[in-house]
Amino acid sequence: MTVNILIYEDNPDFRDALVQLINQTPEHHCLGAFVNCSNVLDELETYQPDVILMDIDMPGAGGIEGVRLIRTKNTHVKIVMLTVFETNQHVLDAICAGASGYILKPHVFKKLFDAIAEVLAGGAPMSASVANMVIDYVRSRSTTQQNSFQLSAKEKEILGHLVKGSSFKMIAGDAGISIETVKTHIKNIYEKLQVHSKSEAVVKALRGRLFE
């Protein structure tokens, strides 16, 4: 099965290199590549991609705005951010907007296809430095907020794995439970948090300081 991909990147050389890299493999196909997100909703409807590769810093409508717009219409398409930024604010802006994963541009050509496979499998690919910053952010703000959503200890454990970007299979292995049990816990987490997707759950966890 072919993975259909859209690219949003304003650097023409980097954009063209991504297109060529993707189209060299029979398993992946680049449907289109654009300089910004000015028409992202129309393009989303026209192309129906499986994965979107999104730069953060673009002229006009940038990546964060693009992700927010996409999530108003589609909570299922996978969005992987491509950027040189490693600051907390950019990382958290991307995640809170609904990004599915996050890798740094210097690592893209080595890790792109692994990241695409991971995100399609339910994971949230991130550079190690980015994942560490997200985890540190959660921990540093987790001591004062009461668990007002009445999550069980196991549900909080599962939610913590989601925040770290673990796939269902990884969560099952780490927690010592079956994948079906993981899915049941996640369904209950979604109901208690009143969300409908993994990205929404992660955003609520970050903003609500749900970890002790």
CATH 3.40.50.2300 for the 3-134 domain, yes or no: yes
Say which CATH class 145-208 falls into: mainly alpha
CB 79 within 8 A of CB 70: yes
Q: pLDDT by residue for the chain (212 residues), tens digit each? A: 899 999 999 999 999 999 999 999 999 999 999 999 999 999 999 999 999 999 988 888 888 899 999 998 998 999 999 888 766 577 777 777 888 888 888 889 999 999 999 999 888 887 677 777 777 766 665 544 545 678 888 998 899 888 888 888 999 999 899 999 999 999 999 888 888 777 778 877 777 666 54
The domain limits of the chain are 3-134, 145-208
Which strand (E) or helix (H) includes residue 55?
strand 51-55
Which residue has tokens 């099952």?
172
The H-assigned helical ranges of the chain are: 12-23, 40-47, 63-73, 88-97, 108-120, 128-140, 153-163, 168-175, 179-193, 198-208
* Topology match between the domains 3-134 and 145-208: no
